[in-house]
A and B are shown apart, each in its own frame.
Chain A
Amino acid sequence: MYFIKRILFLVPLLLLISFLAFVLVHAMPGGPFDRERAPASPEIEHHLQAKYHLDEPILKQYLRYLDGLLHGDFGPSMKYRNHSVTDIVVAGLPVSLSLGALAFCLAIGIGLPLGFFTALHKTKWEDYAGSLAAALVICIPSLVIGPIFIMLFALKLRWFPVALWASPSHVILPVLTLGLYFAGRVARLMHEGMLATLQSEFITTARAKGLSERQVLLRHAFRIAALPVLSYAGPMLADLLTGSFVVENLFQIPGIGVFMVNSSLNADYTMVVGLVLLYAAPLLALNLAVDFAHCLLDPRVRYE
């Protein structure tokens, strides 16, 4: 019941978000035609404004946009003429999706075992080394590690190509640059979750029942200890899948993260609102899914 209500609530929430984004970019000074190569004459500008209905009151513009949205039309891009927002997203999204999904796998694949392992060796050298590594990758931003990877592995050692998105060897450096930070984050969450869980009473009960240590750790402790990671995984996945400006820009990858930034800078109204929705919809859906999974995994959690 609770979840049905939340699902029904998603639609007005998304509408509100789109309206907020719409008002926000319109409140921005300057318009999408400010950076035209040739300074437009007043007539041309008027014509452009009329063509994209920018001369109407903002509420009417928004309703017009909503009408298009209901028909599955995200409108035309105002900066990249002759391309609709849908065109640009369809071209860029698969690239960002695959990059993000791989980085997600990397984050989970490294982070979970590392956090689990360091928590089991608490206050031993394995713990210190592993935790330091996790802290280190969080503190080195992609802006630093990306250029270092390019200079070391691509330019100096020539193991990998410098940029672009074509063969599997192109994938490795960007995925590492994007995913390592999240791997560190996941490892820390897992580490703390595991430490807290191992102190709780149901673990003592499980041991008292005579279960093997392996069963206690994997079947009982892991399930609860991974819950913080699960909560974090929702926003993390939404972040990763909708592209990262720094990584896409550094490695010249044709994803949509670059568009998110550029269209905001250009005041490309339709693009911004479309991309905001593209970010918000999976984020809200994933948060919902995470809460639902919480219920399934932890019998103590109840929503009403």
Chain B
Amino acid sequence: MSERLHLSPNQRAWRRFLRNRGAAAALAVLLALIALVLFWPLCRLAPAANVLPKAMTHPPDAVSDAQFAPPTWEHWFGTDAHGRDLLSRVCHGSRISLLVGLVGATVSLVIGVLWGAVAGYSGGRLDGVMMRFVDVLYAMPTVVFVIVLITALNAVLGKWQAGPHGISAENARLLQFAGLFVGLGAVSWLTMARIVRGQVLSMRQRPFIDASLVLGASHARIIWRHILPNVYGIIIVYLTLLVPSIILYESFLSYLGLGIQPPQASLGSLIASGAEQINPIRIYWWLIVFPGAVLALTLLALMFVGDGLRDAFDPRGES
């Protein structure tokens, strides 16, 4: 097809992606979900609140007497142990979960790409040492690593808060967020580093790299301007696969009590607090099923988008 020759490989990949109906639908679901959780708090404001059904206007942390109310017209998702509206909490929780996934993935993206690019580009002994380090970390159980990191960060925070130049509780919470991001990012950059390193290693042999070296480009410029743009498709694909795994990991940490701290909630911490309420007398299924369903839907959409991107960027897929 000669008319497509003027398109860059990335533009062609994007077109292939949109032609894949499943992936495009997943992207639409994902964007709708993001829009919903972003604009959810607006439902409580004056013009919208008068029009929308009352169930959509509950604040997430308003305590009421309706404890453990099953889903009704008043509360679509029911209420939790303190009578708080679950629908609103799930929306706010999805926000936090998506944020955690995105920022955590970015942190591990930066570490992994830098590590892999430097190792692959320099080659030789430095490459060997850097990649053996990755091998060693691979063999460590991530649980141990993450727990140590997060408790260490929390202890430092506690000291700061108690110290002479005490920081406010608000700032402490932000810092705790940052600690969680760093912890999650720090344990999930390994695969990224391996992938990028392999790509850079093969890219380095190409003649155009030698050409720009001869023209006097610095190594940093070559990595940044010539190598990274060429591996960017693979990085994007892996990033969409990384976000769900980080969201999942955060929910696991919430189950341990190390994740998002109350009064904030993530989907994981909502599910974890639902799991605490399991008892043989009454079954509060909505506490697990609704946040779980939203979590599963988010992950599913991300996974299909990632699959679609991978097929689109895979040159073998072009016919």
Q: Would you give the shortest CB distance from A104 to chain B, in whole angstroms? A: 18
Q: How far is the CA of A68 from the CA of B319 in the complex (A)?
A: 62
Q: Are A141 and B248 in contact (CB under 8 A)?
A: yes
Q: Is B208 an interface residue (CB 8 A)?
A: no
Q: Are A276 and B155 in contact (CB under 8 A)?
A: no
Given contacts A135-B300, A261-B147, A29 and B139 within 8 Å (CB-CB): no
- Pairs A–B under 8 Å by Cβ, sample size 10: A135-B304, A139-B296, A139-B303, A145-B292, A147-B278, A155-B280, A260-B141, A260-B143, A279-B140, A280-B140
Partner of B251, one of A143, A242, A245: A143
By CB atoms of chain B within 10 A, which of A29, A140, A249 has the most?
A29
- Sorted from nearest, which 6 A-B pairs have the closest CB atoms? A144-B292, A29-B155, A139-B299, A264-B147, A280-B139, A139-B300
Q: How far is the CA of A25 from the CA of B149 in the complex (A)?
A: 10
Q: Is B136 an interface residue (CB 8 A)?
A: yes
Partner of A246, one of B148, B255, B303: B255
B108-166 contacts to A, CB under 8 A, are 135-136, 139-141, 143-145, 147-148, 151-152, 155-156
Contact mask for chain A residues 2-35; partner B; CB cutoff 8 A; 1 contact, 0 none: 0000000000010011001100110111100000
Q: How far is the CA of A265 from the CA of B155 in the complex (A)?
A: 13
Q: Are A17 and B136 in contact (CB under 8 A)?
A: yes
Q: How far is the CA of A242 from the CA of B135 in the complex (A)?
A: 19
Write the chain B residue with the least CB distance to A150: B278
Number of B positions contacting A (CB below 8 A): 38
Q: Please give, as numbers and ranges, the residues of chain B lying within 8 Å of A246 by CB-CB distance.
A: 252, 255
Given contacts A143-B268, A150-B278, A250-B275, A28 and B296 within 8 Å (CB-CB): no
Q: How far is the CA of A233 from the CA of B10 in the complex (A)?
A: 34
Interface band, chain A: 35 or more
Q: Is B272 an interface residue (CB 8 A)?
A: yes
Given contacts A27-B152, A28-B151, A276 and B144 within 8 Å (CB-CB): yes
Given contacts A13-B139, A139-B244, A139-B303, A144 and B296 within 8 Å (CB-CB): yes
Q: Would you give the shortest CB distance from A28 to chain B, in whole angstroms? A: 5
Q: Would you give the shortest CB distance from A91 to chain B, in whole angstroms? A: 20
Q: Are A147 and B139 in contact (CB under 8 A)?
A: no
Interface of A is mostly: helix
Q: Add 11 more A-B contacts to A29-B156, A145-B292, A147-B274 (CB < 8 A).
A: A17-B139, A24-B144, A28-B148, A139-B295, A141-B248, A143-B268, A143-B271, A144-B292, A147-B288, A148-B285, A148-B288
Q: Are B135 and A13 in contact (CB under 8 A)?
A: yes
Partner of A147, one of B143, B275, B295, B304: B275
Q: Are B143 and A148 in contact (CB under 8 A)?
A: no
Q: Would you give the shortest CB distance from A13 to chain B, in whole angstroms? A: 7
A266-292 contacts to B, CB under 8 A, are 272, 275-276, 279-280, 283-284
Partner of B145, one of A24, A29, A143, A265: A24
Q: Would you give the shortest CB distance from B275 to chain A, in whole angstroms? A: 5
Write the chain A residue with the least CB distance to B159: A29
Q: Is A110 an interface residue (CB 8 A)?
A: no
Q: Are A136 and B300 in contact (CB under 8 A)?
A: yes
Q: How far is the CA of A265 from the CA of B257 in the complex (A)?
A: 11
Q: How far is the CA of A155 from the CA of B147 in the complex (A)?
A: 33
Q: Would you give the shortest CB distance from B281 to chain A, in whole angstroms? A: 9
Q: How far is the CA of A114 from the CA of B34 in the complex (A)?
A: 33
Q: Is A151 an interface residue (CB 8 A)?
A: yes
Q: Is B289 an interface residue (CB 8 A)?
A: yes
Q: Are A279 and B292 in contact (CB under 8 A)?
A: no
Q: Are A143 and B272 in contact (CB under 8 A)?
A: yes
Q: Are A17 and B140 in contact (CB under 8 A)?
A: yes
Q: How far is the CA of A279 from the CA of B156 in the complex (A)?
A: 29
Q: Are B151 and A13 in contact (CB under 8 A)?
A: no
Write the chain A residue with the least CB distance to B156: A29
Q: How far is the CA of A140 from the CA of B278 in the complex (A)?
A: 19
Q: Please give, as numbers and ranges, the residues of chain A lying within 8 Å of B272 by CB-CB distance.
A: 143
Q: Are B141 and A156 in contact (CB under 8 A)?
A: no
Write the chain A residue with the least CB distance to B267: A144
